[in-house]
């Protein structure tokens, strides 16, 4: 039968250590964690002698020192993501405009109205413009459509 496992944080000294000992006596295997490097108190280790146990130290100061560097790195990735996302949006809007142009051109052929054909050409021109923006890495964002459509 497998014994349950308990992770006890702040367990190298005082209250956390006493909790770890009680859990060990209750039949748990215990993982001891502390925020500072060092050895657990001798009395805590003696109290765990019947239970399997392991100790882990994690120094949070190391992570606090890395935070500014990680923040700058994440902001760099954010800028790259935004730049790529603009081009993805351009191609998506281009496909939508060109599809709309084809559909409107088909309707123009059925109703034989020149102004409907002009609307198809307008959608087609806008779609081609967005495709050029995507390929040439121009910064035009197709949010014009969402503003127009509300």
Residue 54 maps to which CATH number? 3.50.50.60
Q: Tell me the backbone φ, ψ of residue 50, rounded to 5 degrees.
A: -85, -15
**Alpha-carbon separation of residue 125 from 23, 97, 99, 102 (angstroms):** 73, 9, 12, 12
Question: Do 90 and 134 sit in the same domain of this protein?
Answer: yes
What single DSSP character describes residue 35?
S
Q: Which domain holds residue 100?
A: 66-149
Locate all alpha helices (DSSP H) within the chain, ordered by sequence. Answer: 14-25, 42-47, 60-111, 114-136, 143-149
Domain count, the chain: 2
pLDDT in tens, the chain (150 residues): 577 888 887 766 678 778 888 888 888 888 877 766 556 665 566 666 666 767 666 666 767 778 888 888 888 898 888 877 888 888 888 999 999 999 999 999 999 999 999 999 999 999 999 999 888 888 787 776 667 766
Q: Tell me the backbone φ, ψ of residue 144, rounded to 5 degrees.
A: -55, -40
């Amino acid at each position: 039968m497998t014994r349950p496992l308990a992770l006890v944080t702040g367990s190298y000294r005082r209250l956390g250590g006493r909790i770890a000992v009680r859990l060990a006596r209750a039949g748990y295997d215990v993982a001891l964690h502390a925020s500072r490097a060092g050895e657990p108190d001798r009395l805590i280790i003696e109290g765990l002698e019947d239970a399997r146990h392991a100790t882990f130290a994690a120094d949070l100061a190391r992570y606090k020192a890395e935070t500014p560097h990680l923040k700058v790195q994440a902001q760099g990735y954010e800028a790259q993501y935004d730049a790529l996302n603009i081009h993805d949006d351009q191609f998506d809007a281009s496909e939508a405009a060109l599809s709309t142009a084809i559909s409107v051109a088909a309707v123009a052929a059925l109703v034989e109205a020149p102004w409907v054909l002009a609307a198809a050409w307008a959608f087609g021109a806008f779609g081609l413009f967005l495709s050029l923006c995507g390929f040439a890495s121009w910064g035009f964002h197709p949010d014009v459509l969402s503003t127009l459509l509300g």
